[in-house]
Structure 1
Amino acid sequence: MTQSAIAWLDELTRLYTPTASEFDAARRHRQSIEIRLNTYLGLHEMFEIGSLRHGTGVWNRSDADFLVSLKGIQPGSPWTMLNRVKNTLQERFPSTTVTIRRPAVVCRFSDADVEIVPAYPGAGGYLIANPSDGWMKTYPKDHNQYVNDVNKKHNGAAKRLARQVKIWKYLRNVPVSSCYLEMRSAKHLDGEIVYSALWDLYLALNKMHAVGLASMNDPTGLGSRFGSCSSDSNREDALSKLSTAVSRAQKAKDFHQDGENEKSIEQLKLLFNQ
Structure 2
Amino acid sequence: MSINSYLHDLGSSLVLNSNEKSSITTSINALKTRLTSYFGEDVIDKIIFGSYTRETILPRKADENSDIDLMVVFKNPYSYKPQSFLNRLKSFAEAKYSTSEIYQSSPTIVLELNHIKFELVPAYNFYSLYYIPKNSSEWMYTNPNDFNNKLVECNKNNTYKIKPVIRLLKHWNIQKNSRGLSSFELESKIAYEMTYSYINCTSYTDYLKSALGKLRTYSNATKIDNAVAKINEALRNENDGYPYTALSKIKEVFPEV
**TM-score, with length taken from structure 2:** 0.82
Conserved 8 A contact 1:127-1:136: yes
* Aligned twin of 1:21: 19
* 1:85 Cα offset (Å): 1.0
* Aligned twin of 1:272: 254
Match of 1:107 among 107, 111, 123: 111
Q: Note closer, same or farther for the CA distance 1:49–1:170 as it changes in structure 2 (3 Å cut).
A: same
* 1:127 Cα offset (Å): 2.1
Structure 2 counterpart of 1:204, one-letter code:
A
* 1:239 Cα offset (Å): 5.0
SS class of match (1:270) = coil
* Aligned twin of 2:73: 69
Match of 1:118 among 109, 122, 134: 122
Partners of 1:266 and 1:100 lie apart in 2 by 42
Which structure would you say has the larger RCO, counting Cα contacts within 8 Å and 6 or more residues apart?
A: 2
Partners of 1:87 and 1:152 lie apart in 2 by 42
Q: Note closer, same or farther for the CA distance 1:262–1:69 as it changes in structure 2 (3 Å cut).
A: same
Partners of 1:108 and 1:266 lie apart in 2 by 36
2:254 is aligned with 1:247: no
Tell which deviates more after alignment, 67-76 or 52-61. Answer: 67-76
Structure 1 residue runs without a partner (length 5+) = 214-237
Q: Note closer, same or farther for the CA distance 1:127–1:21 as it changes in structure 2 (3 Å cut).
A: same
Q: Note closer, same or farther for the CA distance 1:244–1:138 as it changes in structure 2 (3 Å cut).
A: farther
Match of 1:189 among 189, 194, 215: 194
* Aligned twin of 2:146: 142
Structure 2 counterpart of 1:212, one-letter code:
Y
Q: Note closer, same or farther for the CA distance 1:143–1:169 as it changes in structure 2 (3 Å cut).
A: same
* Aligned twin of 2:53: 53
Conserved 8 A contact 1:100-1:106: yes
**Structure whose CA Rg is larger:** 2
SS class of match (2:163) = helix
* 1:169 Cα offset (Å): 1.7
Conserved 8 A contact 1:36-1:89: no
Show CA shifts across 1:48-100 (max 9, x none). Answer: 21222321121212322222222124423x33322221122211111111122
Superposition pairs of residues 225-236 of structure 1, within 5 angstroms? none
2:200 is aligned with 1:201: no
* Aligned twin of 1:225: none
SS class of match (2:145) = helix
Tell which deviates more after alignment, 21-30 or 142-151. Answer: 21-30
Q: Note closer, same or farther for the CA distance 1:154–1:262 as it changes in structure 2 (3 Å cut).
A: same
Conserved 8 A contact 1:5-1:262: no
**TM-score, with length taken from structure 1:** 0.78
Q: Note closer, same or farther for the CA distance 1:21–1:133 as it changes in structure 2 (3 Å cut).
A: farther
Partners of 2:249 and 2:104 lie apart in 1 by 38
Partners of 2:249 and 2:129 lie apart in 1 by 42
Conserved 8 A contact 1:69-1:119: yes
* Aligned twin of 2:43: 43
